[in-house]
Amino acid sequence: MGPRVQERLEAAPGLGAVALASRTVTHPDFPGATVRTPLMVKADGARKFWEGADADAPYLSECFGPVSFAVAVDSTQDAVALLRRTTRDKGAMTVGAYTSSPEAERLIEEACLEECAQLSLNLTGGVYVNQTAAFSDFHGSGGNPSANATLCDGAFVAGRFRMIEVRRPAE
């Protein structure tokens, strides 16, 4: 873990109530490495930042490192509205969502399609949320402020596309 990531991790408890503290882990093969578990900060998304009440909420800023936010909302509709606004205004490389409700699944999928965020829905185990390139050649969708990069040369992608024409005499 680099020093700037370590600084962000150590500063994260100042962003709100800590739901899960980070702890140090000793890696069996790399005992000299700095390995930390994620820290989770509780946040109140019910304040409806899109109405201006919480425009600078900490969870709206990118926080590299083992820090995540558990954002409480009043309803599924509020959660999806927050997802849409955050993706549109701040960007989202990917979205990880978990639900047992078919209706919530539909709303989340619709929001991600319309706001151009790659969606990982109900995936378990090791999920690399920012590594969508293995499936699309692009790091992100290119459709929102965070997802505008590519991990490959444009010729790598363009060279695989072909155009076939059919020509007929004009009648």
Per-residue pLDDT, 76:
95
Average pLDDT, integer, range 34-41: 90
Q: How confident is the model at residue 139 (pLDDT cuts 50, 70, 90)?
A: low
Domain range summary for the chain, segments of one domain joined by + = 1-72, 93-171
d(CA 34, CA 14): 22
Average pLDDT, integer, range 108-117: 90
d(CA 129, CA 113): 16
Per-residue pLDDT, 154:
63
**pLDDT at 51 exceeding the cut of 60:** no
Per-residue pLDDT, 162:
59
More confident residue, 158 or 9: 9
Per-residue pLDDT, 52:
54
Average pLDDT, integer, range 31-47: 85
Parallel, antiparallel, or unpaired for β 149-150 and 118-121?
Answer: unpaired
More confident residue, 158 or 27: 27
Per-residue pLDDT, 63:
74
Q: Which percentage of the chain shows pLDDT scores above 90?
A: 26
Burial bucket for residue 101 (CB in 10 Å: 0-12, 13-18, 19+): exposed
Per-residue pLDDT, 110:
94
Query: Which of the listed ranges 32-46, 67-81, 127-141 does the model predict with the highest average pLDDT?
Result: 67-81
Per-residue pLDDT, 4:
87
Per-residue pLDDT, 55:
63
Q: How confident is the model at residue 41 (pLDDT cuts 50, 70, 90)?
A: very high
Query: What residues form DSSP beta bridges with 163?
Result: none
Per-residue pLDDT, 164:
56
**pLDDT at 151 exceeding the cut of 60:** no
Write out 118-148 in H/E/C secondary structure.
EEEECCCCCCCCCCCHHHHCEECCCCCCCCC
d(CA 42, CA 63): 14
Write out 56-110 in H/E/C secondary structure.
CCHHHCCCCCCEEEEEECCCHHHHHHHHHHHHHHCCCCEEEECCCCHHHHHHHHH
